Copies of this chain bind each other. A is one copy, B any other.
Amino acid sequence: MKLYPETSFTAILESRIEACKNPVCFGLDPVLSLIPAEAGTPEDKIRKFYFDILEEFLKRNIKPAIVKPNSAYYECVSLEAMQVLAEIIATYRREGIPVILDAKRGDIGKTSEAYSKAAFDVYGADAVTVSPWMGSDSVKPFLREKNGIYVLLRTSNKGAADFQSTENVRAVAQKILEWDNGSVGAVVGATSPHELTEIANFISGQKKEIPFLIPGVSIPGVPGGQGGDAKTVMRALSEGGFKKNIHVLNSSSGLSYAWQAKGKASEYASACADALERLVESIL
């Protein structure tokens, strides 16, 4: 299902960020012990939780630019939870919100082709995250005209340092620019603004700009998050020579479980919308 008139994923992103006046990516990562929705099965709880939150967004007329469910958090619940994942994707898209399926897939050519089909046709996502480790022929089968991919360029976890050396990150960045058909972006961790600037600089130095998906952004008034406040991140990109409004900042548990800071479990939907409002304000 194609919801947008634009002809590339990057153009869709630009329109969305302009239309909703924020670059927020909302991570839809269900953790059952933190979901206070009153419903029968675990699957029902997850569905109700993210539907209630969407309803609250619509009531307040505030929407994230994009959402990003991480497949792992559905896969680990049950086979039925994968059906709920598909329903959540369809429901958010119906309200005009594009969906990144965070799945970090990648395999030999024909197998990546199968993963591409799963992400875009079975689950109906607009974009998918892809691991570069197996190289060009593992990434290219994901390329489509209006579906996006985000390649794992520099991740925000501690262990990333093991293999994502400056040299390797540059080699991957160079390949990403080769692969780019107007719909290729990169996942770049937000824990060090300096490194973010360096990576953006490497790309802008070649007169290119690709959409960054930046995880781990923190929200004012919400404890936790992997560090990196939104303004610092946006400044780091700009210092790296990036000029376009195509980059998104992700928050998953900071938004989903914002109710924890207030302690009122039943008000999870309004706590999430409050946190989204604060996050948006912290960027502007």
In this assembly, does A8 line the interface, its C-beta being within 8 Å of a C-beta of chain B? no
Tell whether, in the assembled complex, residue B122 and residue A135 are in contact, meaning their CB atoms are under 8 Å apart.
Answer: no
In this assembly, does A58 line the interface, its C-beta being within 8 Å of a C-beta of chain B? no
Residues on B with C-beta less than 8 A from A112 are 72
Interface string of A104-115 (1 = CB under 8 A from B): 111111011011
In this assembly, does A161 line the interface, its C-beta being within 8 Å of a C-beta of chain B? yes
Residues on B with C-beta less than 8 A from A134 are 104, 152, 155, 157, 159-160, 164
Tell whether, in the assembled complex, residue A137 and residue B157 are in contact, meaning their CB atoms are under 8 Å apart.
Answer: yes
Which candidate, A78-86, A196-204, A269-277, is the interface stretch facing chain B?
Answer: A78-86
Assess A122 versus B72: contact at CB under 8 Å? Given A109-B157, A157-B108, A164-B135: no
CB proximity of A256 to chain B, nearest CB, Å: 13
Tell whether, in the assembled complex, residue B164 and residue A152 are in contact, meaning their CB atoms are under 8 Å apart.
Answer: no
Assess A135 versus B161: contact at CB under 8 Å? Given A72-B107, A107-B72: yes
Which candidate, A46-54, A168-176, A236-244, is the interface stretch facing chain B?
Answer: A168-176
Number of A residues whose C-beta is below 8 Å from B?
50
The complex places the Cα of A199 from the Cα of B219 at a distance, in Å, of 46
Tell whether, in the assembled complex, residue A132 and residue B163 are in contact, meaning their CB atoms are under 8 Å apart.
Answer: yes
- Docked complex: A221-260 residues within 8 A CB-CB of B: none
The complex places the Cα of A135 from the Cα of B136 at a distance, in Å, of 20
In this assembly, does A3 line the interface, its C-beta being within 8 Å of a C-beta of chain B? no
The complex places the Cα of A162 from the Cα of B160 at a distance, in Å, of 19
Tell whether, in the assembled complex, residue B79 and residue A115 are in contact, meaning their CB atoms are under 8 Å apart.
Answer: no
Residues on B with C-beta less than 8 A from A92 are none
- Docked complex: A128-161 residues within 8 A CB-CB of B: 131-139, 152, 155-161
Residues on B with C-beta less than 8 A from A39 are none
The complex places the Cα of A139 from the Cα of B158 at a distance, in Å, of 12
Residues on B with C-beta less than 8 A from A19 are none
The complex places the Cα of A137 from the Cα of B157 at a distance, in Å, of 8
- Docked complex: A175-232 residues within 8 A CB-CB of B: 175
Tell whether, in the assembled complex, residue B72 and residue A111 are in contact, meaning their CB atoms are under 8 Å apart.
Answer: yes
Assess A115 versus B72: contact at CB under 8 Å? Given A106-B104, A135-B161: yes
In this assembly, does A94 line the interface, its C-beta being within 8 Å of a C-beta of chain B? no
CB proximity of A122 to chain B, nearest CB, Å: 6
**What is the interface of chain A, defined by CB distance below 8 A to chain B?**
29, 70, 72-73, 75-79, 82-83, 86, 104-109, 111-112, 114-115, 117-118, 121-122, 131-139, 152, 155-164, 168, 171-172, 175
10 sample A-B contacts, Cβ–Cβ < 8 Å, listed by A number: A29-B111, A70-B107, A73-B114, A76-B117, A82-B82, A104-B107, A104-B134, A132-B163, A134-B160, A136-B159
